[in-house]
């Protein structure tokens, strides 16, 4: 066994994987409902959840103690995963209310000082803090991750290669983080700037072409002691070697459950369509990582309000067309699987900026979003 990664086990996991199983991971800020400040209460929620068997296995800590993640676990399909996630949301939000806490869901907290946050006490995150120092401490961010089962490790790597081209569009559609340090950053996803553009081995990956190519990359990182475990590879799309899934990690957290559900549906469709394109031998556009980064930056800076680049035509197109293009591309698998993503006309960044332009303060805007999150992810009548 190669130190840190059991490559033989990874092969077996993907050999047993089933196309179209789904797992959802939603990250939430833990907030004082009165002051709206981040509070380091993960350990309290963890302890309280231990009395609830289903919830205990569905939550996890992330980098900071003022953050908590809900995991659906394996759903046999998208609808099953979303039902599992809805049940977990209801339980966790009810538990948070019992503890006098609220849960928030935007890509960043608009004003919390990262220097006040405490790193969670696990081996993995102690290692992250030790290795990355300021980069880790600065990363107070919240996102949505979607896992989709893909049979075959070689095939999963090539599916990831295909998804590199759509990552900027997914980010533009999902942008929810214009504010940081108490100000409007001018970006649509400042979360992506302070996490995805700062962490090593993060953002749009190279195209590895095959499992052999990706394995050589991992073996090199292990040999030169850049990593000691696979979870130190943070690419925005990656084959998850423990779960047998393709994991898409590009999107900001969403302030309403409907937006989170809609994005999960869209991402699932993208993975399934990429797998179908791979099986049917549809050519992959030969675009370098450097050029794809141009669209990635445009998504961070302008979201759906700027222009994106069609590299096949070498022409720009309105960012507002990003969702329509994704829907058009995924139409075959969406029709087959009954996937109909519904997303609002304005994403969360656009709505927040609209409120700011009307004279509302960042604090007032965040208070409204916090209420929307509680009302939509787990209304008290449901809990």
Please indicate, yes or no, if residue 64 is contained in any of the structural domains.
Answer: yes
29 is in which domain, residue-wise?
A: 7-377
Q: How distant, in Å, are the alpha carbons of 196, 236, 268 from that of 139?
A: 9, 15, 26
Q: What is the reported pLDDT for 381?
A: 53
pTM of the predicted structure, to 2 decimals = 0.96
Q: What is the pLDDT of residue 21?
A: 98
User: In terms of Cα–Cα distance, which of 19, 16, 18, 46 is closest to 30?
Assistant: 46
**Has residue 2 been placed in a domain?**
no
111-142 residue pLDDT tens: 999 999 999 988 888 888 989 999 999 999 99
Residue 382 falls within a domain, yes or no? no
SS3 state at 157:
helix
Task: Please report the DSSP string for 203-248 in residue order.
Answer: ESPPP--SHHHHHHHHHHHHHTTS-SSGGG-EESEEEETTTTEEEE
Over the stretch 140-168, which tens digit does the pLDDT of each residue have? 999 999 999 999 999 999 999 999 999 99
Three-class secondary structure assignment of 309-378: EECCCCEEEEHHHHHHHHHHHCHHHHHHHCCCCCCCCCCHHHHHHHHHHCCCCHHHHHHHHHHHHHHHHC
From the list 38, 72, 16, 65, the residue with the least C-alpha distance to 243 is 16
- Flag whether 167 is in a domain: yes
- Give the closest residue to 233 by CA, choosing from 332, 109, 131: 131
* Predicted local confidence at residue 126, as pLDDT: 87
In a domain, 1, yes or no: no
Beta bridge partners of 180: 183
Residue 383 lies in a domain: no
> Which helix (H) or strand (E) is 251 found in, with range?
strand 245-252
Q: Give yes or no for a contact between 168 and 208, defined as CB atoms under 8 angstroms apart.
A: no
CA distance 134 to 148: 32
Whichever domain contains 16, its CATH number is 3.30.590.20
CB atoms within 10 A of CB 354: 12
Please state, as a whole number, how many other Cβ atoms lie within 10 Å of the Cβ of residue 375: 12
DSSP code of residue 4: T
Report if residue 252 sits inside a domain. Answer: yes
Q: Which of 96, 97, 75 is nearest to 86 (CA)?
A: 75
How many structural domains comprise the chain? 1
pLDDT number for residue 220 = 97
**Residue 266 included in any domain:** yes
Residues in the chain predicted with pLDDT less than 50, given as ranges, are: 1-3, 382-383
């Amino acid at each position: 066994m190669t130190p840190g990664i059991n490559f033989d086990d990874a092969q077996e996991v993907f050999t047993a994987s089933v196309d179209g199983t789904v797992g959802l991971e939603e990250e939430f800020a833990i907030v004082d409902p009165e002051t709206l400040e981040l509070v380091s209460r993960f350990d309290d929620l963890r302890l309280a959840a231990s009395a609830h068997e289903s919830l205990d296995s569905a939550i996890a800590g992330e980098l900071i103690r003022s953050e908590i993640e809900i995991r659906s676990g394996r759903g046999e399909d998208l609808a099953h995963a979303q039902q599992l996630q809805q049940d977990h949301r209801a339980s966790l939000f009810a538990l948070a209310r019992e503890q006098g806490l609220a849960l928030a869901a935007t890509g960043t907290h608009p004003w919390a000082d990262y220097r006040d946050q405490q790193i969670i006490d696990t081996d993995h995150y102690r290692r992250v803090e030790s290795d990355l120092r300021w980069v880790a401490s600065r990363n107070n961010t919240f996102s949505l991750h979607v896992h989709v089962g893909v049979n075959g490790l070689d095939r999963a790597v090539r599916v990831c290669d295909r998804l590199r081209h759509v990552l900027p569009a997914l980010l533009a559609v999902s942008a929810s983080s214009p504010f940081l340090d108490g100000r409007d950053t001018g970006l649509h996803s400042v979360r992506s700037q302070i996490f995805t553009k700062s962490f090593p081995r993060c953002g749009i990956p190279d195209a590895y072409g095959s499992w052999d190519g990706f394995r050589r990359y991992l073996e090199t990182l292990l040999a030169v002691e850049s990593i000691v475990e696979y979870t130190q590879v943070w690419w925005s799309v990656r084959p998850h070697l423990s779960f047998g899934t393709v994991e898409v990690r590009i999107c900001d957290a969403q302030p309403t459950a409907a937006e989170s559900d809609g994005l999960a549906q869209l991402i699932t469709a993208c993975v399934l369509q990429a797998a179908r394109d791979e099986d049917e031998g549809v050519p992959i556009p030969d675009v370098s990582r450097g050029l794809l980064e141009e669209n990635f930056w445009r998504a961070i800076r302008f979201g759906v309000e700027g222009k994106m680049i069609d590299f096949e035509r070498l022409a720009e197109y309105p960012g507002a067309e990003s969702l329509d293009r994704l829907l058009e591309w995924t139409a075959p698998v969406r029709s087959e699987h009954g996937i109909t993503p519904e997303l609002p006309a304005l994403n969360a960044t656009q709505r927040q900026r609209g409120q700011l332009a009307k004279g509302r303060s960042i604090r007032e805007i965040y208070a409204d979003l916090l209420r929307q999150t509680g009302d939509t992810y787990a209304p008290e009548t449901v809990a």
